[in-house]
Amino acid sequence: MSPTPSPSTPPARHPDRPCRVPAGIKAFSTLLGHRAPDAGYFRYLGECLNVGDAPADALVEWMYADGMATARPLFERALAEGIDSVPDAPQPLVEFFRLVETVPAWVNREQLDLGAAVMRSGGADGLYIARDVALLGGYMFSGFNQTLLRTGALEKGSNTRFAETTRWALDVVSEGGLEVGGAGYRATVRVRMIHALVRRHVSAMDDWDPDVWGLPINQTDMAATLVGSLIAPSVGGIAMGRINTPREYDAIAHLTRYVGLLMGVQDDFLPRSFRDGVGILYHTSCALSTPDETTQLLSRPMIDDPLTWNYPRFEALRRRIARHQHLSVTSAFLGPSAMRTLGLPTFVPPWYPVAKLPVNLVRSLATLRPGGRERAAQRGWDEQERFMTTMVPSGEATIGHAARKITHHAA
């Protein structure tokens, strides 16, 4: 879709020209016919660094004005039970929830269910790509790092942040998760509200310069995070032998489009097809991949997270294997240049992706048999939940816990 015109001047963090992106993203995007953004669209990506989420921002302003002690319970009740369950609901709350509870005519429940099933089928490998490629590679987006650091990213640790992100993603792809009131719907709308809290809090900090950084958690950052979380794992899965049909890839994009709508991402950053989603991933990366000293501050601690994970037997050995395994995934997909930028070992043999390639190819073929997708989705879901308990013993992570200082202060 053509971008919405914007008169704003991009902040100083926006580069003069499209940045270098990891070779894998560029190669796959080029294969699908994408090119680097032209000058007009590249400037638009910079302008959107100044754009927030007006409905959520208005909601949070009301919550502050009314008092969080009163407003937050009303928000949580409307989220869990629907806005009609709140007697005499304040108008700002009604306006926000009427917006998110209204399902657009373009939403196709069959496609949502298929997209979720395919993403569950990705199993632990899909989560590995999300962690080792999308999240780690995202630390090269130094502008976004500025917000992370101001919300306690170093104190909470990367393991906690990824566990929260994973819990949100699993809620989104759970069966019925995107029904109004479902687990994924609730998690996504809650994250949207927390983003608005963070945007308000960080932008008011004395050391936040909007002429340099734009707006915290802006539209360009949100678009990159959306496709990085939900499109990138399926892109990486192809290289590891997880092959789906064109219809299934477009179902993933359909799910991403609806999740983005609930998250507050503007319409022209919502993919209409899988190819479109890959293009958004490529173009936002071209605008955001500007590593600086914050990159290694966030990336280097992450390589040792597996040394804290939980295994029922041979824990010390399995932790060391897991550390090398995840480095092998990062190295395979991001390449030596990005590894060097991230402060990681320049080359690690890609033994894990190579070992899983034939296994995943066989499993991909098996999904074409009657009932194959359902069986793959259940097996993958079990793997994903086991990985959650590996990272966090309870298998649970409180969404928004990472920003608890801000939300507690707001209350």
Residue 15 burial (C-beta neighbours within 10 Å; 0-12, 13-18, 19+) = middle
C-alpha distances (whole Å) from 404 to each of 40, 145, 199, 330, 337 are 39, 18, 14, 30, 35
Residue with tokens 């997270």: 305
Contact 112, 178 (CB under 8 A): yes
Tell me which DSSP letter residue 82 carries.
-
Helices (H), 10-157: 23-31, 39-47, 54-66, 68-81, 91-101, 109-121, 123-129, 136-138, 142-150, 153-156
Helix (H, G, I), strand (E, B) or coil at 303: helix
Whole-number Å distance between alpha carbons of 196 and 264: 10
Name the CA radius of gyration of the chain, rounded.
Answer: 20
**Two structure tokens written together for 127:** 């989560």
- Position 22 scores a pLDDT of 84
At 404 the pLDDT is 59
pTM of the model: 0.94
**What pLDDT is stored for residue 29 in this prediction?**
95
3-state helix, strand, coil in the chain (%, to 5): 70, 0, 30
Interatomic CA distance for residues 411 and 408, integer angstroms:
5
Name the residue among 127, 109, 128, 239 with its Cα closest to residue 182.
Answer: 109
Rounded Cα distance between 220 and 41, Å, is 12
Burial (Cβ within 10 Å: 0-12, 13-18, ≥19) of residue 313: exposed
Q: How far is residue 257's CA from residue 265's CA, in Å, rounded to a whole number?
A: 9
Tell me the DSSP string of 236-288: HHHHTT----HHHHHHHHHHHHHHHHHHT--GGGS-SSHHHHHHHHHHHHHHH
Q: Return d(Cα 267, Cα 281) in angstroms, integer.
A: 15
Q: What is the pLDDT of residue 1?
A: 46
> Which residue ranges of the chain lie beneath pLDDT 70?
1-7, 395, 400-411
Residue 349 · residue 332 · CB < 8 Å: no
**Distance (Å, whole) CA 60 – CA 95:** 12
- Residue 306: CA count within 13 A, CB half-sphere: 17
Q: What is the pLDDT of residue 152?
A: 85
| Residue 201 Cα distances to 166, 198, 409, angstroms | 25, 5, 10
Query: Rounded to an integer, what distance in angstroms lies between the CA atom of residue 74 and that of residue 406?
Result: 19
Report the sign of the C-alpha dihedral through residues 361, 362, 365, 371, in that order: negative
Residue type, 195: H
